[in-house]
A and B are shown apart, each in its own frame.
Chain A
Amino acid sequence: MPSLKSSLRGFWGHWITEKGCSMYMSFGLLSFALLCILLPMSETRLSLPLSIFVTLGCGSGFAWQIIKLRADETLALIPGKKKLVLNQGIALLTVTYSLFLIFAVALQRMDALFAAALGGVLSTWLILKVIKNTRYFKHVTSIYFLAAIGSIYYDKFDGNVTWLLLLAWLVMSLYSLTKLNNIAWSNTAIHCYKNGLNTGWSPLPTAFTLPKWAEFDKQLFPLSFFAGKTLYTFLGTVTLSSLAIPIIVYFLETPNLAIFIVLTISPIGIMFIRWSMLQNSRSIETLWVLPIFNNRQELHRAFVNRLLFVVTLATIIFWLSCLVAVAIQPNSPDAFTISQANLVAIAMFAGLISIFAISMYLSTDIKFTFAMMLLMNVYFIIIPMMISSKVPAYLLLFLNLCWAGLAILLSFKTIKRIDTVMQKRK
């Protein structure tokens, strides 16, 4: 019987400090930290998605480790390595799910049970797919979306849904345990691993990236020089998801789901732009040797100006869609107001700029991922609070404008780090 110390050897390196796994684990841990704050408030609207994100964070971390194991050609020859990593993963998932089950039973909270079951089903599905083919990991972000949407409609589900999910999860878990032995080296796994590190949470497969539009490309230079097609994909996705807001409001009478989608997609888009820039890190030298900018400051200023332009454009599209939604929404007691639309749009603008500014400041990927997850969680708390807050609208507007102003100042300040960040990446 191996000792606890022996069973935990390498745990920190595998699950916490490894870049890819830390992306998902830190998201789960952070969601857990926020959940601990929110739990006493009995606020299911926020605690439910956070609970699901905790279980999904651990589940996707485990699926990521399977990719890593499958990318290692020497795995089958190192006695005990596969078993060690898999046992650590199983223990991690068991502890996480057990916490939810204990919590659900002790406090009679069905929502915790639902969170564990939904998170469990989705995580186990991902794990099973990754055991079969590592390429399925590209669906990870879609799973998070699905979970978030599922949590929104929790109230509408019959109690039996939770029990059905729980049963499905149990069956799937037992089945996946029998499949873990099949994990073997795959020549495509290393590409999935590297691709996953580069694209991070990007939910957009390359097939959906939009082609370049030469004229617009010039307008967005030098940002377009670094980020390329990602910029158009970002703008295209924000436009499409914003256009969905009035439609969803018209049919479902609530803007929360639609706004949630845009507010999730847009920070991911900004993070994706940052990833693209880092992938093209050598381009900064190429750009610098071209006779375009007189000095570094000029380049930095041009860069931030273009970034502000892109974010403003995305915000305007989102804001206009919100206004249309306000105009066409059916009469209901919790109607979406113009004031709320303004507030959410400004918050989106400030949030996106902040995310970019912080991403420039934090050069290492782990710090960056951690900060992003924190910011996204804050983002998800601030915005729903704005929609339902009792604080006077003018005060919220003032606070929001201050945040936006601060974010712009921060972006000009941190863009100086662009050279350092890209240098470190090499």
Chain B
Amino acid sequence: MTALLKLQSVTKKFETHSVLNKLNLTVEPGMVIGLLGKNGAGKSTLMRIALGLDNPSEGNATCFGESSRNLSISSRSKIGYVPQQPFGYEGFSVAEALKLHASFYSNWDFDLESLWLNRFELNRAQRVDKLSVGQRQCLALIMAMAYRPELLVLDEPVASLDPLTRREFMSDLFELALESQSGILFSSHITTDLERVASHIALIKSGQIILFEEADSLKDKIRKVVKGTTPLDLSRYTVLNDSKNASLIYGYEGETISGAKQIIPLSLEQIFIEVHQNAIA
């Protein structure tokens, strides 16, 4: 099966600062990958490089088997992207913007457009530059999804949506991936959304994907191990973070760990916090 998106050993440096560091990631059809990371972790840069909007300093990025920097029109027609700051149709009404945008795609689904316009309660006559941040985000989502792209890349798509719209959107997103076998890569800080929708979770830290796991098994495989008086042997696990009193391990399969005072299961939000706790020197 051809990967929809593939990043191989991608490094991105801004002057001396390295944002991505030999990062690898593959998106395959049907995958809904939730990208989780702190602000400035490189999520947006990763997405831009993946889509050829920015050049990697090292490594390769491919979409549908083509280099991201030189995507053919046919490949571009299969990609939907919503950036953090949607922009581009100022001066148009919602209806005019959608009409023009639809003209660039041969497979635009007008029924889906109407359905989502109603769901997001967007007024067709309203001017794009007068929309609120949330409404602008909704319009960008319609524009990115109404032609049923095979690869959808969403940079914090629900950050400005109210909880109800967010929940509905997330469920639609999941259905879309299931129905059309699209691959979806999206970033969000809202861990409950990731837990609800994502088939896979990718955790990015210091420019690398330190964790890539199916969402269902992620919580089973990660434990916080509180240290006792005897030394711990954690050699069979991947230690995601280590502090004086506890270690965060990946690869746990239900066994007892000798020397552990306590083995604590964690929610996704707790995992995120624990991963980013300052490690001991």
Contacts and interface: CB of A to CB of B under 8 A. Distances in A.
Interface of A: 6, 9-10, 13-14, 16-22, 68, 71-81, 184-185, 190, 193
Contact of A73 (B71, B83, B91, B92): B83
A424 B32 CA distance: 41
Contact of B92 (A6, A13, A184): A13
Q: Give chain B's interface secondary structure class.
A: loop
A81 B91 CA distance: 15
Contact of A19 (B88, B97, B129, B144): B129
B14 to A, nearest CB: 11
Interface residues of B, number: 30
Given A18-B91, A190-B85, A190-B87, A76 B53 contact: yes
Nearest to A22: B91
A160 B172 CA distance: 67
Given A77-B76, A77-B81, A78-B76, A9 B103 contact: yes
16 contacts: A9-B100, A10-B92, A13-B97, A16-B91, A18-B90, A18-B92, A71-B87, A74-B83, A74-B88, A77-B76, A79-B73, A79-B77, A79-B105, A80-B73, A80-B104, A184-B53
A211 B43 CA distance: 40
Interface string B48-85: 10011100000000000000000101001101011101
Contacts of B85: 73, 190
B89 interface: yes
A74 B141 CA distance: 12
Contacts of A21: 91
A283 B227 CA distance: 56
Contacts of B100: 9-10, 13
B15 to A, nearest CB: 14
Contacts of A14: 91
A76 B70 CA distance: 10
B76 A10 contact: no
Given A9-B103, A78-B101, A78-B104, A19 B91 contact: yes
Given A73-B53, A74-B83, 17 more contacts: A9-B103, A10-B92, A10-B96, A20-B90, A68-B90, A71-B87, A73-B85, A73-B87, A74-B88, A74-B144, A76-B51, A76-B76, A77-B53, A77-B81, A78-B76, A78-B101, A79-B105
The residue among A16, A22, A76, A184 with the most chain B CB atoms within 10 A of its own CB is A76
B129 A72 contact: no
Nearest to A69: B88
